[in-house]
A and B are shown apart, each in its own frame.
Chain A
Amino acid sequence: MIGKNFRLSIDLLAEINRINSLEFESVEEVLKEFLLVGKKYFQLEYGIVSRVIDDKYVVLSAVSPKDEIKSGDTYELQNTYCHRVVAEKKTYFIHCVSSDATMSHHPVYLAMGLESFVGSPIFINGEVFGTLNFSSTRKIAESSRDNLVLFNEFLSQILAKNIKADLVHKEILIKKELLKKENKKLKNQLRINKTLEKENRAHKGLAEKLQVIAQIGQWEYDVATQGLEWGDVVYQIHGLDPKDGPPPVDKAINFYAPHERQRITDYLTKCVEGGESYHDDFEFIDAQNNKKWVNAFGEAIKDDEGLIVTIRGYFQDITDTKLREKEIEHLKNVAEKGSKTKSKFIASMSHELRTPLNAIIGYSELIEDEIEFSTTEQLLDDVKKIKHSGLYLLTLINQILDIAKIEAGKVSVNTSKFNLKDLQNQIEPICTPVVLKKKNQLIFTGMSEAVEVESDREKMAQVLINLISNAAKFTENGKITVTSRVVGENLEVSVEDNGIGMPKEKLDKIFNRFQQLDSKFSGETEGTGLGLTICKEFLKLMHGDISVKSQEGEGSVFELHLPLRISRKQKDIKVA
């Protein structure tokens, strides 16, 4: 027996060695080889390697006479002979099921009539992985128990090693696969991240560019540390170097114009303490003392508990916009003022036209009323008043038209050469009757033939007649002196009287339209109040100016300054 057993052992080892030296594609093929070896040496026609998972018995590999048992077949563990192998974690041997009363009703016996059986657990890492079992429909000798158990356990152990190696290999493969997948995922993520980062950088770059273009800077204030953090543009607006870092908050406030500091302080306090955001324009002075306008926005950022931790906002240089706004505002004001002046002019004009018309209509009606009993003298007197008012109305209308023409730029300068004596000869006969009316004297000095002038003769004459007539109206038994002298390239002419003069507060207004007519319409001193306005405009056209000095009760002096010659170039300049 020993010799036979020994021989068997040697053969078995040789078989195992052979199997181990072969290369298999899968562990199932290895298992099959072992089963064939077992079948051959044990003389049992059924051989199965199983995997036991909980109460299931899964066939991993099998040899059977008609191949009726296939890998993948699954049975309930308790319906197999291996039930005891797994339960007791040890080899189980039966040589004759039919002679065992406890086993003769076993489902396997009933179904397949298997009389003999040897099965051993396959331990992997101390756990029952499955079983290796051989069985036969033939009864076998009880005496073969020890050999079969020994060899089956031996095969089980070798199988366990093969399965384990395979598992390890599979595990490595699985892990490799998993790693590959993980790697792919990571690579994918990395790619996405890179794209996002690129986009982010692009956005950030764009945002930064936009900030620079729009002169918007971001800032943040940490409530706990009172630390400020500034974006580059914020430094730029303050005229500070980013290298030096932001100033402390109280110093930063001082960049606001003095009258703005309280306002921004109030805003910041409300923001830090009450979480109120703010958005407003402020006057600002940068480190280089440049006056600027900024648009400031701030908001409070709260933590999860609702505590204000950060104040952040933006800061924009809106100086250009503000300046434009101011310019528009100014133009609007000018336009409005112009419009108001115009309306006022129309209102005064209609009032001034009404005055002589009132007299014309009034006296005409009076004549009608009194015609039955009126004397010729009375009638003549009334008709004279009508005529006088009519003439006055004519003057007024002409002067209004003159002013309208000047304003429309339709009055041009007609230059001619003449001497001052010619000018005196032109105006003297016109002025004399008015001057004599109140027993005044008219004296000309310096109006010499030697002084050649190249200017607008008609306008100069009109101005002088107007000034002399004015002087004559407000002077009685006095002297009206017209003095002219040449100073360099300029001509200076003054018209002086020793009449009633004017109060100081009236002086700066007398060149304004209708100024004189603020006072009452009185027969002798009547004037349209437009004469001096026209004089001033004419002087401007001739590149000169007019001014007045006066002392109440002592008289007035009107002084004209104008170039002796209006050059061609000057002539071309339109004077509004």
Chain B
Amino acid sequence: MSKILLVEDNEINQELMTRRLKNRGYEVRLAEDGEKALALLKNEKFDLVLIDISLPKMSGLQVVEICKSDHKLSHIIFVALTAHAMESTKEEALGIGCQAFVTKPVDYKLLMETIEPLLIKKT
């Protein structure tokens, strides 16, 4: 069973996403900001990280950058989530090392189609 870290500050989105992922059989851990996410990533192993780009204190992209520059964390698979459906943001996210990009509000069918192949590839 794959273990996913959800980095999301919006409570409704946290609940919706967690329940959806759990319904699919994934183990889900939650971090409500970038700092907490980094702390969790350093201590636990995750198969995939779903990360919101606009987070308080530290943006999702900053978290990805820090991980990519740390050889212990650089292997982590990141899928970016954002409400800003802008092409430039998407390119920026992919440019710094996110494997995929999903626009909010989340189309769950599309989300599954995006993360499943990444997880299969990993195993």
Closest residue to A378 on the B side, CB-wise? Answer: B19
Known contacts: A369-B23, A370-B23. The answer to whether A362 contacts B12 by CB under 8 A is yes
List, in ascending order, chain A residues with CB within 8 A of B108's CB: 365, 369
Q: Tell whether A385 is near chain B: CB-to-CB under 8 Å.
A: yes
Q: Are A385 and B12 in contact (CB under 8 A)?
A: yes
- The answer to the question of A306 belonging to the interface, with a C-beta cut-off of 8 Å to chain B, is no
Within 8 A of B (CB), among A345-379: 351, 354-355, 357-359, 361-363, 365-366, 369-370
Bound form: Cα–Cα A521–B56 in Å: 12
**Candidates B11, B16, B83; contact of A523 at CB < 8 Å:** B11
- Taking A358-B105, A359-B16, A369-B108 as known contacts, 15 extra A-B pairs with beta carbons closer than 8 A to each other, sorted by chain A number, are A354-B105, A355-B10, A355-B12, A359-B12, A365-B108, A366-B16, A366-B20, A369-B23, A520-B9, A520-B10, A520-B11, A520-B56, A521-B12, A522-B11, A523-B11
26 contacts between A and B (CB under 8 A): A351-B83, A354-B83, A354-B105, A355-B10, A355-B12, A357-B105, A358-B13, A358-B104, A358-B105, A361-B105, A362-B16, A362-B105, A363-B12, A363-B16, A365-B108, A366-B16, A366-B20, A369-B23, A370-B19, A370-B23, A385-B12, A389-B12, A520-B9, A520-B10, A520-B56, A522-B11
Instruction: Identify which of residues 6-41 in chain A touch chain B, using a CB-to-CB cut-off of 8 Å.
Output: none
> Which residues on the B side are within 8 Å of A355 (C-beta)?
10, 12
CB neighbours of A354 from chain B (8 A): 83, 105
Q: How many residues of B contact A (CB 8 A)?
A: 14
Kindly list chain B residues whose C-beta atoms are within 8 Å of the C-beta of A523: 11
B1-19 CB contacts (< 8 Å) to partner A: 9-13, 16, 19
Cα of A370 to Cα of B83 in the assembled complex, Å: 25
Q: How far is the CA of A355 from the CA of B83 in the complex (A)?
A: 10
- For A, the interface residue count at a CB cutoff of 8 angstroms equals 19
Return chain B residues, CB-CB under 8 Å to A520: 9-11, 56
**Considering the complex of A and B, which 4 residue pairs feature the smallest CB-CB distances, nearest first?**
A362-B16, A359-B12, A358-B105, A520-B9
Q: Nearest Cβ distance between residue B17 and chain A, in whole angstroms?
A: 9
Cα separation A521 to B19 with both chains bound (whole Å): 19
Query: Cβ of B105: which chain A residues have Cβ within 8 Å of it?
Result: 354, 357-358, 361-362
Residues of B within 8 A of A357 (CB): 105
Q: What's the Cα separation between A538 and B48 when bound, in Å?
A: 51
Question: A residues 505-529 with Cβ under 8 Å of B?
Answer: 520-523
Q: Which residues of A contact B23 (CB under 8 A)?
A: 369-370
Residues of A with C-beta under 8 A to B12: 355, 358-359, 362-363, 385, 389, 521
Give the distance to chain B from A503, nearest Cβ to Cβ, in Å. Answer: 15
Collect the chain B residues with CB atoms within 8 Å of residue A359's CB: 12, 16
| Beta-carbon nearest neighbor of A518 in chain B | B56
When distances are taken between beta carbons in the complex, the residues of chain A under 8 Å from B10 are 355, 520-521
Question: Given known contacts A358-B12, A361-B105, A520-B56, is B19 in contact with A366 (CB within 8 Å)?
Answer: yes
Name the B residues within 8 Å of A389 (CB-CB). 12
Complex: how many Å from CA A256 to CA B99? 62
Instruction: Give the distance in Å from the alpha carbon of A359 to the alpha carbon of B83 in the complex.
Output: 13
A393 smallest CB distance to B (angstroms)? 13
A369 to B111, CA, bound (A): 15
Specify which of B9, B20, B56 is in contact with A369 (CB 8 Å cutoff). B20
A365 to B20 Cα, complex, angstroms: 9
Scoring B12, B13, B56, B83 by chain A CB atoms within 10 A of each residue's CB, the highest score goes to: B12
In the bound complex, residues from chain A placing their C-beta under 8 Å from that of B56 are: 520
A354, B16: Cα distance in complex, Å: 15
A520 CA to B8 CA in the complex, in Å?
Answer: 11
Complex Cα distance, B83 from A351, in Å, reads: 9
Complex interface: chain A residues within 8 A of B19 (CB) = 366, 369-370
Of the listed residues B16, B20, B23, B83, the one surrounded by the most CB atoms of chain A closer than 10 A to its CB is B16
Closest chain B residue to A520, Cβ basis: B9
B63 to chain A, nearest CB (A): 18
CA distance A520 to B12 in the complex (A): 11
Interface residues in B66-114 (C-beta closer than 8 Å to A): 83, 104-105, 108
**A357 vs B104: C-alpha distance in the bound complex, in angstroms?**
12
In the complex, residue of chain B having the shortest beta-carbon distance to the beta carbon of A358: B105
Which residues of the partner chain B approach A351 to less than 8 Å between Cβ atoms? 83
Q: Mark A386-421, 1 if CB is under 8 A from B, else 0.
A: 000100000000000000000000000000000000
CB closest residue in chain A, given B32: A520
Is the Cβ of B11 less than 8 Å from the Cβ of A521? yes
CB distance from B84 to the nearest CB of A (A): 9
- The docked-state distance in angstroms from the alpha carbon of A523 to that of B108 is 23
Query: Could you tell me which residues of chain A, from 141 to 161, have a CB within 8 Å of some CB in chain B?
Result: none
Q: Chain B's nearest CB lies how many Å from the CB of A178?
A: 95
- State the CA gap A358–B108 with chains docked (Å): 13
Residue of A at shortest CB range from B23?
A: A369
Q: What residues on B are CB-neighbors of A369 within 8 Å? A: 19-20, 23, 108
Instruction: Tell me the residues in window 34-82 of chain A with beta carbons closer than 8 Å to chain B beta carbons.
Output: none
> A366–B18 Cα gap in the complex (Å)?
11
B residues less than 8 Å from A365 (CB atoms)? 16, 108
Segment 29-55 of B: residues with Cβ below 8 Å from A:
none
* Chain B neighbourhood of A358, CB < 8 A: 12-13, 104-105
> Which chain A residues border B104 with CB–CB below 8 Å?
358
CA distance A358 to B32 in the complex (A): 18
Chain B residues whose CB sits within 8 angstroms of the CB of A361 once the complex forms:
105
Nearest-CB distance from B25 to chain A (Å)?
13
Please give, as numbers and ranges, the residues of chain B lying within 8 Å of A385 by CB-CB distance.
12
Q: Give Cα A348–Cα B113 distance, bound, in whole angstroms.
A: 31
Contact residues in A for B83 (Cβ distance below 8 Å): 351, 354
Please measure, in the bound complex, the distance between the C-alpha atom of A354 and the C-alpha atom of B23, giving whole angstroms. 25
By beta carbon, the residue of chain A nearest B56 is A520
A361–B104 CA distance with the chains assembled, in angstroms: 12
Q: Which residue of A lies closest to B106 (CB)?
A: A362
